[in-house]
Amino acid sequence: MPEITFIDFAGNETKVDVPNGTSLMQAAMENMVEGIEAECGGSGSCATCHCYLTTDWQGKIAGPNSNESDMLELVSDPKDLSRLSCQVTVSDEHHGLQVHLPQSQY
């Protein structure tokens, strides 16, 4: 089971074991990680589960589809590696992934 680390804007880390096939948003919600609101429940229509991935994971996680890209245009502090955590599904190859959470969601 991959271990994922959620890091809030102050640098506090929460490590969770995430079953394959689970979205980052689901993992955060099930483990009470603050900073993921998930108002739409994972349908990719609200951008309240915005997160940042690190450059070392570029190419190891599929890029956003057009719907996700459109939603990311609505976030207040986008970066090159911004993602909606509801759209990233965890697999064994994601063990060690670090997910940074924006200050705007606290």
pLDDT tens digits, 21-56: 999 999 999 999 999 988 898 888 899 999 999 988
Q: Any idea what DSSP says for residue 38? A: -
For residue range 10-22, list pLDDT tens digits in order.
999 999 999 999 9
Closest residue by Cα to residue 24 from 97, 93, 106, 103? 97
Is residue 60 pLDDT above 90, yes or no?
Answer: no
Segments in 33-106 forming alpha helices (H): 66-72
Question: Residue 64 and residue 61: Cα distance in Å, rounded?
Answer: 9
Q: Give the C-alpha separation, 59 to 101, whole Å.
A: 20
Distance from chain centroid for Cα 64? 12
% of the chain surpassing 70 pLDDT: 100
Distances (CA, A) of 98 to 4, 13, 46, 67: 6, 9, 22, 23
